[in-house]
Amino acid sequence: MKKSKDFIALITFALLLFIPAGLLGQGTRADYERANQLRLKVEKLVFNMGAQPNWIGETSSFWYKANTRKGKKFILIDAEKRKRSPAFDHQRLAAALSTAAEKKYSASDLPFDEFKFTDDRQAIEFLIDKTKWECELKDYKCKKTEETDSTQQNRRTWGRSRHDSTWDISPDKKRIAVVKDFNIYIGTTETKAEFQLTEDGEEDHFYSSPIWSPDSKKLIAYRVKKGEERQVHYIESSPSDQVQPKHSTRTYPKPGDVLTTYNPVIFEVASKKKIKVKTEHFPTPFINSRLRWREDSRFFTFEYNQRGHQVYRVIEVNASTGEARILIDEQSETFFDYYHKKYRFDVTEGKEIIWMSERDGWNHLYLYDGKTGRVKNQITKGKWVVREVKRVDGENRRIFFGASGIKPDQDPYFINYYSINFNGTGLKELTEGPGNHSADLSPDKKYFVDTYSRVDKPPVSVLRRTSDGKLLMELEHGDIKNLLATGWKMPESFCAKGRDGETDIWGIICRPQNLDKSRKYPIIEYIYAGPHNSYVPKTFRAFRSMQALAELGFILVQIDGTGTNNRSKAFHDVCWKNLKDAGFPDRIPWIKTAAERYPYMDITRVGIYGHSAGGQNSTGAVLLYPKFYKVAVSSCGCHDNRMDKVWWNELWMGYPLGPEYAESSNVTHASKLEGKLFLIVGEMDTNVDPSSTMQVVNALIKAKKDFDLLVVPGAGHSIGGAYGRRRRMDYFVKHLLGVEPPDWNKFPNVSS
């Protein structure tokens, strides 16, 4: 019966996709329904989408979840023995859990996606909703163990180090250093007696992050001088717990603000002697990194990021004298990308240092003499980029890393993995297969799971040996037969020349599933041109949000223009003090080239949308290139780089603030609006100051321009959920298709 229902559903979906666009129309309610249901439908038609390893302790064994044609399975792999088996008896576990929970569970659809082996693999723990369960694998008995909070999420701190540690226990376990009342106190772990080590700490100039030396005799800490505490104010108009609005503030440093600074100090604890560290090599710190002691307790190091991000140094300090010297001095005429392209590994306690740099125009690794601060040799070299370092093997003097662009016949963003000797010899490819690779190393670093795919190729996961890349086991091959049977159209990877007529610009094209090549389709670009990364998808997914929008009768494109990351330094530097560029002089010829190849792409009707930095970009498109981009939807845009977070904007736009900030501001160019612009902002956005959007609104009003605005009560850095997404769809349907969207007040329950 179930197979019959699945077959009927499959045929129905296939017929829906094959119905000619002329019969369905464009922008109709049926199109909306198809678009909004697309994700649920296509994700049920793909199986075995890769093997994400969960390594067990420090062993060479791991488990992974496989979504097979027969349901969800948990697979156990012993890499050492090349053995594959079920992680447990799914039938017995389902029966035991059904009995204990008094609820029916199926062996092919167990109510968890993650678990943990316990009791030397004799039991497993997992969560069902917010309840922790434990099941013995010997007799398959299950029981609840505790209630827990499964909603906790790790929050990323955007590029900023935090020095909020307030205590440290000495390596000999005899003493503790603690910060209280802005000063450092030393206590004993046995008697609880303490004494005050510093007395000059105060609220605006205090001590932080004490760290004991390995010999437990010295202490280093940061002396912190507070800067300007700029406050962003919020009015929550419609709080859930009261009728009246709520006011709140958030500390939010912006470009040009006086920042908090961190300078290291040294203490000889027994004598309470304070040793001043010479600061001539780090005069204007943005934020210094964590202090690191050498094992001999004679020296410590830290990394100095000079405000403006054009000077980045590794500093070594003599702990007896406070003398500081520069080990590595990285300087750039534009910027040093410390957010995405900084890597340091100290070999044998800093006798050598492996360092990442773009000094030759490409992102590569260098070997430094840690004593002299001189470059011993460049490790990697060529017109390609190192993307990440997975492992440094100091004993065998070999590095395991990911790189892009080595293979001239492949997309230059595809990552493959290699190993190389410290001296730059013996480069060896460790992965194979056309596509974008990811590598997940075992704890002992002997093995890794290699998963690769493309936007038009489902994932393949295999087990390889780290030393030579030898294929040991095939794990999973993505199965998309049912999906292809519906007539589903894969995104197309597309390459065209950029503004100079020579540089390859890469992107993708998404088409509606019922594409009718005899018709003309408006083009919509999804843009995010933040210089901290590249964004065009390189791996397979059955569903992308772009595809849902395409179902309404559009061709969707996404492009990485110059100014984005992961190509050459020159490619990246286009963004320098020039965020308004956003790669548009590359994007426009790319879209025109695509339209020449595919005549059903209507170059006279081009829209664009983006969020956050993409919100800035999409608004800039209709202001600066109104003859090409006719319609834009922009959500939570950082429209003026003086209004946004300090680190991100000063990194690309420079410090001190110059006229380039105003020149890149959408406020400055608001009077140039010719097309249609829809601005969306969450009133409680803590990532980008909501006033950034409202200042564009103010400028548009002053210029007597017509535009559309949606302020979402209570929303943060988002488009406003399903409602905001539907409004974005409506805007393009109305202004690019020229069709009036359905009257949702009459049909409010459309799925989304």
- Alpha helices, DSSP H only, in 405-496? 481-485
**Domain contains 414:** no
Based on the fold, state whether residues 176 and 140 are members of the same structural domain.
no
Q: What is the mean pLDDT of residues 704-732?
A: 97
**Domain contains 720:** yes
Are 406 and 382 a contacting pair, CB within 8 Å?
yes
For the cut 80, the answer to whether the pLDDT of residue 751 exceeds it is: no
> For residue 188, what pLDDT is reported?
94
Q: Binning pLDDT at 50, 70 and 90, where does residue 166 land?
A: confident
For the cut 90, the answer to whether the pLDDT of residue 415 exceeds it is: yes
Q: Binning pLDDT at 50, 70 and 90, where does residue 148 land?
A: low
CA 430 to chain centre: 25
Residues 34 and 548: their CA atoms lie apart, in Å, by: 8
> For residue 147, what pLDDT is reported?
67
Tokens standing for 17?
A: 């996709």
Based on the fold, state whether residues 180 and 228 are members of the same structural domain.
yes
Question: Mind listing the pLDDT tens digit for each residue in 294-338?
Answer: 999 999 999 999 999 999 999 999 999 999 999 999 999 999 999
> For residue 750, what pLDDT is reported?
57
Based on the fold, state whether residues 164 and 304 are members of the same structural domain.
yes
> For residue 25, what pLDDT is reported?
59
Question: Mind listing the pLDDT tens digit for each residue in 13-27?
Answer: 444 444 443 334 588
- Alpha helices, DSSP H only, in 400-514? 481-485
Q: Binning pLDDT at 50, 70 and 90, where does residue 646 land?
A: very high
For the cut 90, the answer to whether the pLDDT of residue 157 exceeds it is: no
Last residue of a domain, one of 338, 358, 385: 338
Based on the fold, state whether residues 134 and 193 are members of the same structural domain.
no
Residues 54 and 48: their CA atoms lie apart, in Å, by: 16
CA 131 to chain centre: 30
Last residue of a domain, one of 338, 355, 390: 338
For the cut 70, the answer to whether the pLDDT of residue 194 exceeds it is: yes
Are 604 and 585 a contacting pair, CB within 8 Å?
no
For the cut 50, the answer to whether the pLDDT of residue 150 exceeds it is: no
Q: What is the mean pLDDT of residues 115-122?
A: 96
Based on the fold, state whether residues 498 and 547 are members of the same structural domain.
yes
For the cut 60, the answer to whether the pLDDT of residue 82 exceeds it is: yes
**Domain enclosing residue 234, as ranges:** 160-338
Q: Binning pLDDT at 50, 70 and 90, where does residue 8 land?
A: very low
What's the order of all strands across the beta sheet hosting 311-318? 292-293, 299-305, 311-318, 324-331
* DSSP track, 509-536: EE--TT--TTS-EEEEEE----TT---S
> For residue 17, what pLDDT is reported?
45
What Å distances lie between residue 313 and 223, 343, 406, 648, 746, CA to CA? 19, 12, 29, 19, 63
**Domain contains 113:** yes
Tokens standing for 439?
A: 């590598």
Q: Which 3 state secondary structure label does DSSP give 471?
A: strand
Based on the fold, state whether residues 592 and 553 are members of the same structural domain.
yes
Q: What is the pTM of this model?
A: 0.92
Are 751 and 273 a contacting pair, CB within 8 Å?
no
Phi, psi at 590, each rounded to 5°: -60, -50
Based on the fold, state whether residues 191 and 104 are members of the same structural domain.
no
Number of C-alpha atoms within 13 angstroms, CB side, residue 601? Answer: 22
For the cut 90, the answer to whether the pLDDT of residue 1 exceeds it is: no
What Å distances lie between residue 439 and 247, 293, 393, 436, 521, CA to CA? 47, 31, 16, 10, 39
**Domain contains 468:** no
Q: At what angle do helices 29-43 and 721-732 cross, to 10 degrees?
A: 130
Q: What is the mean pLDDT of residues 224-230?
A: 94
> For residue 286, what pLDDT is reported?
83
Q: What is the mean pLDDT of residues 569-575?
A: 98
Number of domains making up the chain:
3
Last residue of a domain, one of 86, 118, 147: 147
Q: Binning pLDDT at 50, 70 and 90, where does residue 361 land?
A: very high
What lies within 8 Å, CB to CB, of 623 at 6+ separation is 666, 669, 670, 672, 673
**Domain contains 683:** yes
Place of tokens 């400055």: 668
Burial zone of 23 (CB within 10 Å; 0-12 exposed, 13-18 middle, 19+ buried): exposed
Nearest CA-CA partner of 707 in 683, 673, 736, 733: 673
Based on the fold, state whether residues 81 and 203 are members of the same structural domain.
no
Computed over every residue of the chain, the mean pLDDT equals 93
Based on the fold, state whether residues 552 and 670 are members of the same structural domain.
yes
Tokens standing for 170?
A: 């000495």
Based on the fold, state whether residues 110 and 217 are members of the same structural domain.
no
**Domain contains 572:** yes
Based on the fold, state whether residues 141 and 104 are members of the same structural domain.
yes
Residues 739 and 752: their CA atoms lie apart, in Å, by: 20
Based on the fold, state whether residues 186 and 129 are members of the same structural domain.
no
Q: Binning pLDDT at 50, 70 and 90, where does residue 747 land?
A: confident
The partner residues of 558 in beta bridges, in order of sequence, read 508, 526
244-266 b/e (C-beta count within 10 Å ≥ 16 → b): eeeeeeeebbbbbeebbbbebbb
Tokens standing for 160?
A: 């900023």
Q: What is the mean pLDDT of residues 727-733?
A: 98
**Domain contains 707:** yes
Question: Mind listing the pLDDT tens digit for each residue in 368-382?
Answer: 999 999 999 999 999
Question: Mind listing the pLDDT tens digit for each residue in 447-503?
Answer: 999 999 999 999 999 999 999 999 999 999 999 999 999 888 899 999 999 999 999
For the cut 70, the answer to whether the pLDDT of residue 9 exceeds it is: no
For the cut 50, the answer to whether the pLDDT of residue 168 exceeds it is: yes
The CATH number covering residue 266 comes to 2.140.10.30
Question: Mind listing the pLDDT tens digit for each residue in 97-107?
Answer: 999 999 999 99
**Domain contains 613:** yes
For the cut 90, the answer to whether the pLDDT of residue 195 exceeds it is: yes
Are 158 and 648 a contacting pair, CB within 8 Å?
yes
For the cut 70, the answer to whether the pLDDT of residue 143 exceeds it is: yes
The CATH number covering residue 666 comes to 3.40.50.1820
